[in-house]
Amino acid sequence: MAYPVLACQVLTALVFLTAAVGKLRSRAVYAGFVTELGDWPLVPAGLRPVIARVVSSTEAAVPVLIAVPVTRRAGAGLAALLLTAFLTAMILLRARSATARCTCFGRRPAALGTRHLVRTAVLLGAAVCAFPWQGEPAPATVGAGLLAAGFGGLGALVAVTLDDIAEAVGPATPRGTTHTPRS
């Protein structure tokens, strides 16, 4: 069981590291994140700066906590808590037919859609799986541990670039129609 846990720890830590760096890399980007929270009708205007600080601080703390053996459980738990909040907010927005954008990883904003719900749910599952259990054995070999970490890194790469992947693949075309390339 140590290998899937390690892969999920690496995935969770890298996703949160990317999210934190994406939001905190400059004052202008961070200010854009605070402004973007205005697109979320669930966030009162007066609380936007506080929520932005809590989210970005938590995102920055998760990879550090996961990297330190004695705080791994706290890191995975904090990640699961934040992802649960994100998923709940997305579901509430969809239920209200509200639209919102997200610069999840500090890149260009994307309209929240089904792929973001699925990604967040998968990341929540990974954060729960990243929770190390008492007495869990360490990976038996360095090679197998590196392989598990590599799979976690690959998963993080897919999660972080999901919007780019979706854009590259393009919209699905119904059967019987032809796809016309963008000019």
pLDDT at position 135: 59
Mean pLDDT of the chain: 84
Cβ(34)–Cβ(25) under 8 Å? Answer: no
d(CA 58, CA 20): 8
Residue type, 150: G
Domain ranges of the chain: 2-163
Average pLDDT over residues 58-73: 94
What confidence tens digit (pLDDT) does each residue in 130-181 have? 987 755 666 667 888 889 899 999 999 999 988 888 888 876 555 554 544 5
The predicted model gives 125-130 an average pLDDT of 94
CA distance 140 to 12: 22
Question: What pLDDT does residue 172 have?
Answer: 57
Q: Does the structure show a pLDDT above 90 at 94? A: no
- Cα–Cα distance measured from residue 80 to residue 76, given in angstroms and rounded to the nearest whole number: 6
| Residues near 65 by beta carbon (within 8 Å), at least 6 away in sequence | 71, 72, 74, 75, 78
